[in-house]
Amino acid sequence: MMSERRPLILGNWKMNTLPEEGRLVARQMVPMIRDGLHLRVDWGLALPFTHLSALRAELEGWGMMGGQDCSAHLQGAYTGEISAAMLAAMHCTFSLVGHSERRTHHQETSATCGLKIDRLRDQGLMAVYCVGETLEDRQRGNFSKIITSQLMDALGSRIQSLDSNGLVIAYEPVWAIGTGLTASPEQANEVHAMIRYWVVQHGGAMLAEQIRILYGGSVNASNAKDLLGCSDVDGALVGGASLKARDFTDIVLSSVG
């Protein structure tokens, strides 16, 4: 059963496509989604920084555009970093924070993610905070402990100052990302319900009722409907399948039943 929360489907293009190729994908995607659908579902793409300018005209008015990361710093001598203010200036409305690939390859901690969430909040951008356990954690039955500490370390001291426009949580089991393995709808919903309960305890019942919790990890056009049909799954964060206009559109369609 879908909840009252408006579905949110985000694509994460990671380090794929060149700007012109990406523009062509968005150009195919937008007309398929905009025929009425964009009024019932929120959707957007987390793009490489180099694509923001090329895709802005394609997405504007129809879908959201966001970054895949932002700096924990305001500005200054941080070579290679992109600030939240820079994202805002490029008309981004959100950014991913704490994706497992950033945690694994760039040693990003949950505490750093908290600072990034502060920077995004200062700019009025929505933070999509990603959490999830490794296969080892899942096999050891440790997953709730890991996810709770990821929530606590990044959000514990700030969730009271965030609202459901400023914060989305994405549950992405690391073992399901890019592997073709997905959590079953039951596994996903169990973790989503646990995350929502954590929000009740730390952010209050009203925020917990409103906040959107996305599932990510090998979501595709065939499994999206079952995952999105779960009571605590409010949308999806889609990697590989978001690079194909038809597949991503089908996932967006699945979110509205």
Residue closest to 17 by CA, chosen among 57, 49, 63, 43: 49
Nearer to ligand PGA, 30 or 238 (CB): 238
Nearer to ligand PGA, 203 or 216 (CB): 216
Nearer to ligand PGA, 72 or 241 (CB): 241
State which residue has the least CB distance to ligand PGA. 239
For residue 74, the 8-state DSSP code is: S
Q: Does 217 bind ligand PGA (CB under 6 A)?
A: yes
Cα end-to-end distance, the chain, whole Å: 9
Which residues, listed in sequence order, are joined to residue 129 by a DSSP beta bridge? 97, 169
Q: Does 218 bind ligand PGA (CB under 6 A)?
A: yes
Say which of 99, 101, 133, 192 is annotated catalytic: 99
DSSP codes of every residue in 195-248: HHHHHHHHH-HHHHHH-EEEEESS--TTTHHHHHTSTT--EEEESGGGGSHHHH
* Per-residue mark of binding to ligand PGA, 114-153 (x: CB under 6 A): ----------------------------------------
Could you tell me how many residues of this chain bind ligand PGA (CB under 6 A)?
12
Q: Which of 31, 124, 178, 257 binds ligand PGA (CB under 6 A)?
A: 178
Q: Does 164 bind ligand PGA (CB under 6 A)?
A: no
Q: Does 239 bind ligand PGA (CB under 6 A)?
A: yes
Q: Residue 172 catalytic?
A: yes
CB of 42: closest distance to ligand PGA in angstroms?
Answer: 17
Which residues, listed in sequence order, are joined to residue 10 by a DSSP beta bridge? 44, 237
Element (H, E) at 103: helix 100-105
Q: Does 238 bind ligand PGA (CB under 6 A)?
A: yes
Identity at 55, one-letter amino acid code: L
Sign of CA dihedral 99, 103, 104, 106: positive
The answer to whether 26 touches 59, Cβ cutoff 8 Å, is yes
Q: Does 88 bind ligand PGA (CB under 6 A)?
A: no
The answer to whether 222 touches 195, Cβ cutoff 8 Å, is no
Q: Residue 99 catalytic?
A: yes
CB of 177: closest distance to ligand PGA in angstroms?
Answer: 4
Nearer to ligand PGA, 207 or 224 (CB): 224
CB of 12: closest distance to ligand PGA in angstroms?
Answer: 4
Give the burial class of 28: count Cβ atoms within 10 A of its Cβ; 0-12 exposed, 13-18 middle, 19 or more buried. Answer: middle
Nearer to ligand PGA, 44 or 216 (CB): 216
Active-site annotation, residues: 99, 172
Binding residues for ligand PGA, per CB under 6 A?
12, 172, 177-178, 216-219, 237-240
